[in-house]
Chain A
Amino acid sequence: MDFDLMFTSFPKLLGATVVTLKLLSVSLFFGLFIGLLFAILRLNKNIFINKFAYGYSYVFRGTPLLVQIFIIYFGLGQIEYLRSTFLWVILKEPYWCAIIAFTLNTGAYTSEILRSAFQTIKPGIIEAGKSLGISNKIIFYKIQIPIAIRQSLPAYGNEIILMMKGTSLASTVTLMDLTGVAKYIISTTFKPIEVFIVAGGIYLFMTFIIHNVIKYLEKKYSFQ
């Protein structure tokens, strides 16, 4: 065991953790909106809208995240037309490409989580709202969405942890996140176990925090 290396690499890895957290929070933020949008589309009665939303979540859940990042980072730059538009400012940056890929990926999983949460809402609750003369719009925003969010908290907590692990793939498109820096230190020092313990420890710590925050929220917003 090389404890010196563990001590010297710790600040470097901690610095890289900031990149990981940035990637995670930005993509979760946008992913939640996309997830909500597609969950609502899934519940639409129009078969084309419905199928479109299903296709989106099927494709993004059925392919590895790595493929999605590579298509966006390496693939989209190939289209001549895109290079001439303002989108190119975003798409030439690996940081934004990674965020787009993560957002679309987590959006697909979130839409599934929210959809099943919407479907588990008891019809009686909606009927109660209707019989009280509350408009459909208000029922949706003030009754259905809050209940769905509460219902989906445990599953969404898992999704946050999965996404945190997913951000490690940003290192494959030259971003120096926690895994990227860990790999760099491993390949220069050839001490994989020490670096794994430190970097893995940081990841576990984040998992621990997320897990407990979700647990706290679940308790706070429980029905009892």
Chain B
Amino acid sequence: MELLAFGKTGWGDELFYATLMTIAVSVTAMFIGFFFALIFTPLKLSKFKSLNLIGNFYTTVIRGVPELLVIYLFFFGGSGAIMYVASIFGYFEYIEINAFITGSMAIGIISGAYSTEVFRGAIQSIDKGQFEAAKVLGVGKFAQFYKIILPQMLRLAIPNLSNVWQITLKDTSLISVTGLVEIMRQSYIAAGSTRDPLFFYSFAAVLYLLLTFLSMKLINRLEAKYSRGY
């Protein structure tokens, strides 16, 4: 137990901050994912074939390629791409983006592909009559989406979004390869310096289980809230 003590002697406080880092990266990635889903869901549902193609390309490629490969692309290619864009604007100095931003971007894009599929499925399962009724009543496109479609969609999407959240949370462990100190990386450091990998990796597993368990509790409450009246 002294291995987990807080302060200089143990790894308790380090692992605590690492857990906070894991949560921070997961939440950021989830929101980046929502942002991407907001762009690509309309593309996938669009009437135009070419827009459909772009949407399908994004979800197919990201869901068909290992997460680790995407992370390597961002880790090795991220600063290069930013520097290339900067060079167009006449800035030629070396730019380094920190591990948190690259990591959240990489995981966010992956999570976005899953969220896109969830939103697409949810919108498609809403009764066509709802759209038509809104049109007949003269509700504007904007109000139709925010007041009629979105609330109904959320109820259908939350169970699947909770799956996306679980995937995202577990995927953040892969960012440890880029050196960002989250649960996995911290356990790696602790295991290396104490020569006790079994304990620290098992403890990391417990931390992840705790995170998934607690988030499920929270999501169930949210689900109950949006299912009122059903």
Contacts and interface: CB of A to CB of B under 8 A. Distances in A.
Interface of A: 58-59, 62-68, 70-71, 74-76, 78-79, 161, 164-169, 171-172, 179, 182-183, 186-187, 190, 192-193, 196, 199-200, 203-204, 207-208
Contact of A78 (B65, B68, B197): B197
A209 B60 CA distance: 13
A187 B76 contact: yes
Contact of A64 (B171, B191, B202): B171
B167 to A, nearest CB: 9
B72 A183 contact: yes
B32 interface: no
Chain B interface residue count: which class? 35 or more
B208 A62 contact: yes
A70 B173 CA distance: 12
Given A171-B68, A199-B69, A67 B205 contact: yes
13 contacts: A64-B173, A64-B184, A70-B197, A78-B195, A79-B198, A165-B67, A167-B66, A168-B67, A186-B72, A186-B76, A203-B65, A204-B61, A204-B65
B76 A66 contact: no
B206 to A, nearest CB: 9
Query: In terms of DSSP, what is the predominant structure of the interface of chain A?
Result: helix
Contact of B69 (A64, A67, A78, A200): A200
**A63, A164, A179: which has the most chain B beta carbons within 10 Å?**
A63
Contacts of A199: 69
Given A66-B173, A66-B176, A75-B198, A179 B68 contact: yes
Closest 6 CB pairs of A and B: A168-B66, A75-B198, A192-B77, A64-B173, A207-B64, A74-B197
Query: In terms of DSSP, what is the predominant structure of the interface of chain B?
Result: helix
A75 B67 contact: no
A71 B196 CA distance: 11
A59 B3 CA distance: 23
B189 to A, nearest CB: 13
A55 to B, nearest CB: 11
A141 B60 CA distance: 37
B64 A204 contact: yes
Contacts of B174: 64, 66, 169
A43 B201 CA distance: 31
Nearest to B216: A62
B103 to A, nearest CB: 14
